[in-house]
Amino acid sequence: MNKSTSLIRYLSYDKELSKERRIGMVSWFVFQAQKDHVKTYESAVTILLDLSRGARSVLDFCLENMDRNNYVSNNALFKKNMNKAAAYSKRSFSDNTINKAFIELAKHDLVSKTKRGVYRINPVYFCKTTEEDRATMIREEKEKPYQKLVDNYRSKR
């Protein structure tokens, strides 16, 4: 099985009737689900060349684990899972290294900090959704500094 698929097991409940009593039989079947693919846009290539090795590793792990809205959390679970994934290549990352990598990614405008420990991957460079949703996310990012003005303008229409 490759990285792009994972197994999901479903339980189903089959009722069989017999003369004496009802017998409930539990059976299961396996469904193979395909994970979302991350689209990388051309404008990201030159920035990726400037990243340090640690920041690039953190970015790659973020891209695999971000949600549909490009959010990722920098918490203890994230760091544990990243070190578990890095153990296959006999590497490990300290908490400080991961935090510095997020700072470097923010300097290159690849991520933006939304709340404490929550980052949003810049949809200009990477996205999992459709092109329409990507355009909406980019518009939201551009409007964020001017949110009050935009809300006032939209309310007057």
Given this model, what pLDDT does residue 12 score? Answer: 42
Residue 157 included in any domain: no
In a domain? residue 87? yes
User: Is 72 in contact with 78 (CB distance < 8 Å)?
Assistant: yes
Please check whether residues 121 and 52 belong to one and the same domain. Answer: yes
Higher pLDDT, 57 or 14: 57
The number of distinct structural domains making up the chain is 2
49 and 99 share one domain: yes
* β-pair type (126-127, 39-40): antiparallel
* Its pTM surpasses 0.75: no
Whether 13 and 54 share a structural domain = no
**Average pLDDT of span 90-110:** 92
Which of these ranges, 3-12, 56-65, 77-86, 142-151, has the smallest mean pLDDT?
3-12
Q: Which of 14-28, 84-98, 107-121 has the lowest mean pLDDT?
A: 14-28
- Answer yes or no: do 81 and 107 share one domain: yes
Q: Which domain holds residue 73?
A: 39-152
- 48 and 20 within one domain: no
Same domain, 89 and 29: no
Are 9 and 75 within one domain? Answer: no
- Between 1-5, 34-38, 101-105, the lowest mean confidence (pLDDT) is in 1-5
pLDDT value at residue 41: 83
Q: Does any domain span residue 55?
A: yes
Whole-angstrom distance, CA of residue 60 vs CA of residue 135: 22
Which pLDDT score is estimated for 33?
A: 46
Is pLDDT above 50 for 136? yes
Is 83 in the same domain as 130?
A: yes
Long-range contacts of 81-88 (CB under 8 A, 24+ apart): 82/58, 85/61, 86/57
CATH of the domain at 94: 1.10.10.10
Q: pLDDT at residue 101 above 80?
A: yes
CA distance 11 to 9: 7
